[in-house]
A and B are shown apart, each in its own frame.
Chain A
Amino acid sequence: MFTRRSAGLAVAAMFVLAAPASAEERAEVIHWWTSGGESAAVKVFADQFRAAGGTWVDTAIAGGANARTAAINRTVGGDPPTAMQFNTGKQFDDLVENELLADVDAQAAAQNWKAILPASFVQAVTRNGHVYAVPVNIHGQNWLFYSNDALHRADVQPPTSWEDLFPALDKLKSAGLIPLAFSGQKNWERNLFNNVMAGRGGHDLFVAFWGKRDVAMVKGPEFRSIVETYKRLHDYVDPGSPGRNWNDATSLVIQGKAGMQFMGDWAKGEFTAAGMTPGKEYGCTVLSDHGMAYVMGGDVFAFPRLKDTSQTKAQQLLARVLLEPKTQIEFAQKKGSIPVRLDVDTSSLDTCARKASGWVADAKAQVPANELLSPPALTGAIEDIISQYWNDPTMTTDTFITKVANTLSQQF
């Protein structure tokens, strides 16, 4: 028998999607993939789910915080969606603690996740021995994109290490270009800091910072040099950078007004929209001092605990479909990410993604992203300090380090 709510959903599904109202495996999915490219990507999931006999009811809400808020509100309010998107990491910790999520242990066992997914990602969705979410993709967060044209004009070779970077930036500057395209919003300021920390400090230092909150490390010389490197980058951004959207910064690279940009692999979407191909008009690389340190984040779907068994079935079906090889590769192509499954054929992806898929398979080349290591509250508090440091020319490195150390030792 239908509850009134599910009847309502069925009506909604008919109106919105004109899809057959199969009560059996209908899944309402809340996610924040709303732009054209993202939309094409999520369509892969929907199509595959439909092909497997389910009905995908799409609830797209732009802005991660908006979508998560809506999903959590509904879950707590007793009207959960079938599945909801999170960033891989600690965003759903509280839901697990409050026993609001269903585990997907069976699925993980059936598909043998330990063998096919990066270990850090399996760990990122596991709480107390149970698996609570399905990772669907990997986004590299510390790419350096550069305009071949701009570099050529400034007579610069693409940098391959942090040592190379500064001379290259100087040359770009003297050529009258914006050396580093930057979007001065808090999260990108933090992301740039993470890029420096991963690139110069490597995996252990990165984890010591965000994961272990190692105050002693923060007060040490290595961290100080990272902080100084970060601040040094400020000399190479243009005065218009504060407040700029990331895609406007990318746009500067696309037009050849700026030389390079540190950004996650989603920036490829902007290049693609402008008709550019990686390896041709623009290049991509990851700078790292200690072997490869590829910062990996991504997206997962979590499944609220439900009373309705037909919905539980839909959840199981969806969980399976999301990780199927065909789904994985098609989704990654559209999204600009890389498949979370290590055993799929990545030859159809672009050059940047192909580069990355090698690192993804190599545990030593990886750094878990910020979100995997620290709860949002801590991330946010640190982000405020980073942003202040970046923007306030009077704030000394000592002050910064003291503030960071204090915040890390607080309770979150």
Chain B
Amino acid sequence: MSGTTLIPRGRPPGKLSPARMGLYAFLAICALFFLTPLYVMLVTSLKAMPEIRQGYILAWPSAPSLAAWGKAWFSACTGLSCNGIRVGFVNSLRIMVPSVIVSITVGAITGYALSFWRPRGAVVLFGVLIAVAFIPYQVFIYPLVRIFSHLGLNNSVPGIVLIHTIFGLPTMTLIFRNHFAALPEELFKAARVDGAGFWRIFGAIMLPMALPIIVVAVILQVTGIWNDFIFGLVFAGRANLPMTVQLNNIVNSTQGEREYNVEMAATLLTATVPLVVYFVSGRWFVRGIAAGAVKG
């Protein structure tokens, strides 16, 4: 029910049998496969442009330099201003933090209400949510722009937070619903007999049990929201443009000359926040899934 223990299976580590050597060899090859693109990005970011033009993508830089990193952070041009991608960093945080909190809150409550309470029409609502999860969300942008401008929500942090909530809702609801649905229903009944109402059961019993799944949700949402470019661009307003808009400006120019070292450095810099979240919470991530996200 709780306190999922994470004990690895299999034989205890002993001497290296041929089978285990094979296992390590396979894992090493896989790790290599996974790391190669990162390696390419890293060495490219350390090279100068003439060396990149040579086309030896796997070669270690002849004169490794952090110049591109400096340029990406401080001085790369992203339009008229040449202040690098750091410009949007604070904006990205200002968008991300409330968006993550609000979207997860709404998703958790919705998932909870759908799993235990099943009011009339719940299936239809859930069906709509799942259907939306499969539709490219760019399709929604245009009508939403119209709706938002009617409501006066355009170009504001609340507006972009609402957008992230809208598009995070299907996945968040899904994982929370699945998590809660996997919990024994008797727990819910016991709480009702104890006199707890809708919110009390949620706050005192279900939410504490959902802590690991919340970590999963945070990781998914941090990645999604941090990497978002199009919503930030369209709904955040120019005072709140996130970092990815700068990244896109560096990376996606159609006719301008391209500096791959700066692009790679900028990408790696932009990915720092989700990467840190992953590495720090990797353990929690697995544990969170273990606690029930996968059941149901």
Whether chain A touches chain B in the assembled complex (some CB pair under 8 Å): yes
Q: Which residues of A contact B (CB under 8 A)?
A: 5, 8-9, 11-12, 15-17, 28, 31-40, 42-43, 46, 56-64, 66, 69-70, 73-74, 76-79, 139, 245, 247, 251, 254-255, 264, 266, 269-270, 272-274
A46 to B82, CA, bound (A): 14
Could you tell me if A37 and B256 are in contact, using CB atoms closer than 8 angstroms? yes
Q: Apart from A17-B81, A39-B78, A255-B53, list 18 A-B contacts with CB within 8 A.
A: A12-B238, A16-B87, A28-B238, A35-B77, A36-B76, A38-B255, A39-B80, A60-B249, A62-B78, A62-B248, A62-B251, A66-B233, A70-B233, A73-B142, A74-B154, A247-B257, A266-B255, A266-B256
Could you tell me if B155 and A8 are in contact, using CB atoms closer than 8 angstroms? yes
- In the complex, chain A residues whose CB is within 8 Å of the CB of B79: 31, 33-34, 39, 42, 58-61
Q: Which 4 A-B pairs have the closest CB atoms?
A: A60-B79, A35-B256, A39-B77, A12-B239
Nearest to A247 among chain B residues (CB) is B258
Chain B nearest Cβ from A212, distance in angstroms: 28
Could you tell me if B258 and A9 are in contact, using CB atoms closer than 8 angstroms? no
Q: A11-B239, A12-B239, A79-B154 are in contact. Are A56 and B80 (CB under 8 A)?
A: yes
- In the complex, chain A residues whose CB is within 8 Å of the CB of B78: 34, 39, 60, 62
Say which size band chain B's interface belongs to. Answer: 35 or more
Which residues of B188-204 have CB atoms within 8 Å of chain A's CB atoms?
A: none
Nearest to A263 among chain B residues (CB) is B255
B293 contacts partner chain A, Cβ-Cβ < 8 Å? no
13 contacts between A and B (CB under 8 A): A8-B237, A34-B77, A34-B79, A35-B253, A38-B255, A38-B256, A66-B233, A77-B148, A251-B53, A264-B255, A269-B255, A270-B257, A273-B49
A78 to B255, CA, bound (A): 30
Q: Of B230, B238, B245, B253, which is within 8 A of A38 by CB?
A: B253
- In the complex, chain B residues whose CB is within 8 Å of the CB of A42: 79-80
Task: Name the residue in A12, A35, A61, A269 with the highest tally of chain B Cβ atoms < 10 Å from its Cβ.
Answer: A35
A32 to B54, CA, bound (A): 29
Nearest to A245 among chain B residues (CB) is B258
B234 contacts partner chain A, Cβ-Cβ < 8 Å? yes
A28 to B241, CA, bound (A): 15
B254 contacts partner chain A, Cβ-Cβ < 8 Å? yes
Could you tell me if B234 and A73 are in contact, using CB atoms closer than 8 angstroms? yes
Which residues of B56-90 have CB atoms within 8 Å of chain A's CB atoms?
A: 76-82, 87
Chain B nearest Cβ from A129, distance in angstroms: 31
Q: A73-B145, A77-B146 are in contact. Are A16 and B256 (CB under 8 A)?
A: no
Could you tell me if B252 and A62 are in contact, using CB atoms closer than 8 angstroms? yes
B36 contacts partner chain A, Cβ-Cβ < 8 Å? no
Which residues of B211-264 have CB atoms within 8 Å of chain A's CB atoms?
A: 230, 233-234, 237-239, 245, 248-259
B141 contacts partner chain A, Cβ-Cβ < 8 Å? yes
Nearest to B77 among chain A residues (CB) is A39
Could you tell me if A63 and B257 are in contact, using CB atoms closer than 8 angstroms? no
Could you tell me if A58 and B233 are in contact, using CB atoms closer than 8 angstroms? no
Chain A nearest Cβ from B270, distance in angstroms: 14
A162 to B111, CA, bound (A): 67
Q: Of A8, A62, A264, which is within 8 A of B239 by CB?
A: A8
Task: Name the residue in B87, B155, B249, B256 with the highest tally of chain A Cβ atoms < 10 Å from its Cβ.
Answer: B256
Could you tell me if B256 and A274 are in contact, using CB atoms closer than 8 angstroms? no
Could you tell me if B254 and A61 are in contact, using CB atoms closer than 8 angstroms? no
Nearest to A335 among chain B residues (CB) is B255
Nearest to A78 among chain B residues (CB) is B149
